[in-house]
Amino acid sequence: AFYDRSEELNPKTNSYITLNRENAMAAAKLSDEALSKGEVLSPLHGVPIAVKDNLTTTDAQTTSGSNILRGWVPQYDATVVSKLRKAGLPILGKTNLDEFAMGSSTEYSAFGPSRNPWDLSRIPGGSGGGSSSAVSGHLAPIAIGSDTGGSIRYPAAVTGSVGAKPTYGAVSRYGLVALASSLDQIGPVANNVLDTALLHDVIAGYDAHDSTSLPHSLGSMAEAVKNADVKGLRVGVVKQLNSDAFQPGVKELFDDTIAKLVAQGVEVIEVDCPSFEYAIAAYYLILPAEASSNLAKFDSVRFGLRVTPEGNPTIERVMAATREAGFGPEVKRRIILGTYALSSGYYDAYYGSAQKVRTLIQRDLAAAFSKVDVLLTPTAPTTAFKIGEKVNDPLAMYLNDIATIPANLAGIPGMSVPNGLAKEDGLPSGVQILAPAMQDAQMYRVGAIIE
Ligand code: GLN
């Protein structure tokens, strides 16, 4: 049923780059067989899933939203994909994203923008707008995303879905097409907190293939959701992320969420994170620096596209022509920025300073978490904007990430939970929950309370 619905609605939402009926049906059949044998199964056994197209799959192309990888079928499955297969979840297809997960709207995808099921003229967020629109439009009950600066949480907020970025290292990044390796984390997207938690439990855990993988388990998120209560809970509201910079309807919903918690007896205090003011500036130096290095491997030799120019095709000219034709404008912009920031003589001024800001943000968060269990912020400054509104204004696009970026810079878990429809436009808004590193269960507990 989900597959048929996906095929019917995908022309409208453009959630998937690749739909794969044969694979989905074969996996569903295997899962039926396991059921009939009475095997002990994962709680999500047989539940179909959509997977962001920057995770490698041996049975479908993995494009990362880019022309340079169009048609590339990897030789290995990402660890997360192997875990999904092992747990009996049929993969319906691979979902759309901004090219190499750079963006907040999916408008930078080489496969055209995805559309928000709430209003098809609006963006479903990015970079994981394929996964968020699939879940929100019920083309898939659950999906996988990746979050480097908010690409799970922001799309979840503007489509009325739930999305979580686990603690850095909680989910293996093996087989994820790397954007910025020190910030990237894979995570779950779903229509409610319990489904999100159940999927989290399927994909989390140590993996020897990822050198930053956490060696120990962080426990069951589903258990945290099932046992959630407000007893003794202390919540912080970040002064710097509760300003008039947020759309009035978004701010009003956020204030309502806080008021409801207070009414339930939760202690709420304001916390100060002065370094958050510099988070976007630091992130947009660190990310391009790491991305420019990670993307150097797309050189026409090892993966995907090769363009051979006329005349004297030296290796340099083939590489240059391939990268010129294969990368879109946002990717080129970031490669140039990152290469500049890392160049000799500028390294300390740009990359070095940004890393210092990163430390200051971590200290602000540590100070805040010495007083409260979790922090709450609106996930996004506005509800979903119109397709085309910001695509030619990179800075306006970057500013959407104001609330989500600190979690990636600090490696802490963050999730977005829907908290109503904004009064101006009737579109969904989300509240973000941030918890200390490795306290993902605490974040889910609060998510369950707010939902
Ligand atoms: N909007 C952010 C960016 O463009 C989000 C990226 C991400 O999380 N993949 O970098």
Query: Read out DSSP for 353-375?
Result: HHHHHHHHHHHHHHHHHTT-SEE
Domain at 234-280+354-450, CATH from 3.90.1300.10, 1.10.10.10, 3.40.50.11540, 3.40.190.80: 3.90.1300.10
Q: How far apart are the first and last CA of the chain?
A: 27
Q: If the chain, 451 residues long, is cut into consecutive pieces of 10 residues, what is the mean pLDDT of each piece? A: 96 97 89 82 93 97 98 97 95 98 98 98 98 98 98 98 98 98 98 98 98 97 96 96 89 97 97 96 97 96 92 93 97 97 90 96 98 98 97 92 97 98 98 98 98 95
- The confidence score (pLDDT) of residue 39 equals 78
Query: Of 6, 15, 31, 52, which is the active-site residue?
Result: 52
Burial 361-400 (b: 16+ CB within 10 A, else e): bbebbeebbeebbbbbbbbbbbbbbebeebbeebeebbeb
**Ligand 1 binding pocket includes 401 (Cβ within 6 Å):** yes
ipTM: 0.97
Architecture, CATH, for domain 2-226: Alpha-Beta Complex (3.90)
Pairing of strands 234-238, 374-378: parallel
213 is catalytic: no
Q: How far apart are CA 132 and CA 151, in angstroms?
A: 10
pTM above 0.80, yes or no: yes
Q: What is the pLDDT of residue 329?
A: 97
Residue with tokens 């269960």: 441
Strand partners, 270: 237
The residue nearest atom 10 of ligand 1, judged by CA position, is 102
Distance 22 CA to ligand 1 centre (A): 32
Q: Is 15 a catalytic residue?
A: no
Q: Please give the pLDDT value at position 231.
A: 93
pLDDT at 161: 98
Q: Where in the chain is the domain with CATH 3.90.1300.10?
A: 2-226, 234-280+354-450
Whether 243 is catalytic is: no
CA dihedral of 335, 338, 344, 349, whole degrees rounded to 10: 160
Atom of ligand 1 nearest to the CA of 104: 1
pLDDT of residue 243: 78
pLDDT at 372: 98
Ligand 1 centroid – CA 398 distance (Å): 8
What pLDDT does residue 41 have?
A: 82
